Structure 1
């Protein structure tokens, strides 16, 4: 059976995270496999990647469209703010090397197993003001370098307990307060389903501030179609609302066979592409 392909008039640009699929391949081969499906590529920690090799693949049509935008730090503590801004500048240099337009950040650095380095489940009003200022400074760095920082919502119930500014309503408030095209939301619908739900209305509310959308199903963080989220309905609602940005599968590939293997990853991408193939003419 031939792989599912993205329609030429698709409403969205589709991407996949190379950290979570094709796990039986070396990393650069994962990138190649994703690009061979006509998808854009997303990566996490750039410090562990061969940036020169990734940059060389640009000539073959491989596009890295999102990467982690800091190495350490947080939005509120004195040392954390210094470190996140410093390593954001380092990340911008890396982004220039591979021509990556978006750099992803969180409320705090994440350690082993996704545990926040600086846990703060209930930020104070002072913390909120400091976080807005730090996000503003990130946006200024992004503007200076022609890049966009995206602030990702997370969930605290399953994956990231104690993470500050975790909910989509939190990231939305911070991004809105900064009000810069160089700071946008990375609206992760897997995390949002666990933390808030009501995904279609959430997308509509956040639409003007979204830099990209990431998807995985609940429970299990596997590809769309494996859990409780009606991603086809979400897809059609996004298209109807006029969203024309990136939708990225940040999900583990599961199915018949070894999870993350090439065969299972190919089938997972088929599901993802089929779910988010919606004509761009359907906007209202």
Structure 2
């Protein structure tokens, strides 16, 4: 049975971020995720989770200079020291929030380095992060991002991510299977899920092509939820979409599951 986590970066934006925990709980969600927690003290966020009896499903490691267009640093050969520092920052938040999944954003390919140099750096850094997090029972996620929304991102295809996971060779490195990105870049979703099922550690959803509620667009989500069930995936599914109008007005699709 599908279980859904509200992405607080994209949902309930009608209210300030700290108030979104309460809004998600009131709407019936039992878990939340978001892009980045770093503007807030970890203890404040933990208090919100505890107050509203929510589980923290996932968040991203520090991505570099997001406002300047950076989308992670894990694959950047000249940012290794910064990446190692970001592991400690993310670990602090993960422990405070009792969060067992952290996404390491790879970053955009730099013209200053070869693709192979990016790959070697990514494998090296993910091994470092995985070993650091493993002591605390935390998994590190790799998420391919589509080249339409994020041109030049280091990994854009699900099978490429699986190949990297195999090369990293750590049991707590998993695939963050975002159906929105997967449909745009790979398609053939039912077959793809069967192929990568053993590596999936987290799932996210949105309609394609407009990234709205999953009750519209070209993906048959009720069918796909069944395929995920068959694949053995039983964990949270992150609702990472932009509401068409208001968040509450667009939640009718998820009400039967909540």
Query: Match for residue 45 of structure 1?
Result: 36
Please list the CA deviations of residues 159-179 of structure 1 after superposition, one character each: whole Å capped at 9, or x if unmatched.
100111222122111112223
Q: How many angstroms does 1:119 deviate by?
A: 4.3
- SS of structure 2 residue aligned to 1:177: helix
Query: Match for residue 45 of structure 2?
Result: 54
Question: Of 54, 62, 74, which residue of structure 2 is paired with 1:70?
Answer: 62
Structure 1 outlier segments of 4+, above 6 Å: none
Query: Match for residue 166 of structure 1?
Result: 156
Runs of 5+ in structure 2 lacking a partner?
A: 65-71
- SS of structure 1 residue aligned to 2:126: helix
Q: Provide the rounded CA distance (Å) in 2 between the counterparts of 1:142 and 1:183.
A: 10
Query: Match for residue 188 of structure 1?
Result: 178
Q: Provide the rounded CA distance (Å) in 2 between the counterparts of 1:151 and 1:203.
A: 16
Q: Provide the rounded CA distance (Å) in 2 between the counterparts of 1:218 and 1:123.
A: 32
- SS of structure 2 residue aligned to 1:46: coil
Residue pair 1:88, 1:138 contacting (<8 A) in 2 also: yes
Q: Provide the rounded CA distance (Å) in 2 between the counterparts of 1:104 and 1:51.
A: 17
Q: How many angstroms does 1:50 deviate by?
A: 4.1
Question: Of 241, 247, 254, which residue of structure 2 is paired with 1:272?
Answer: 254
Aligned-pair RMSD on alpha carbons?
2.1
Question: Of 189, 195, 199, which residue of structure 2 is paired with 1:205?
Answer: 195
- SS of structure 2 residue aligned to 1:88: helix
Residue pair 2:6, 2:29 contacting (<8 A) in 1 also: no
Q: How many angstroms does 1:126 deviate by?
A: 4.1
Distance 1:119 1:79, change over 3 A: closer
Q: Provide the rounded CA distance (Å) in 2 between the counterparts of 1:212 and 1:241.
A: 13
Runs of 5+ in structure 1 lacking a partner?
A: 1-10, 109-115, 279-284
Query: Match for residue 178 of structure 1?
Result: 168
Q: Provide the rounded CA distance (Å) in 2 between the counterparts of 1:238 and 1:246.
A: 11
Q: How many angstroms does 1:196 deviate by?
A: 1.0
Q: So what's the TM-score if we normalise by structure 2? A: 0.88
Q: So what's the TM-score if we normalise by structure 1? A: 0.80
Residue pair 2:76, 2:122 contacting (<8 A) in 1 also: no
Counterparts in 2 of 1:22-171, with a 5 A limit?
22-36=12-26, 37-60=28-51, 61-72=53-64, 74-108=73-107, 116=108, 118-119=109-110, 124-157=115-148, 159-171=149-161
- SS of structure 1 residue aligned to 2:187: coil
Please list the CA deviations of residues 55-74 of structure 1 after superposition, one character each: whole Å capped at 9, or x if unmatched.
11333312221111234252
Query: Match for residue 219 of structure 2?
Result: 229
Counterparts in 2 of 1:212-251, with a 5 A limit?
212-251=202-241
Q: Provide the rounded CA distance (Å) in 1 between the counterparts of 2:25 and 2:252.
A: 14
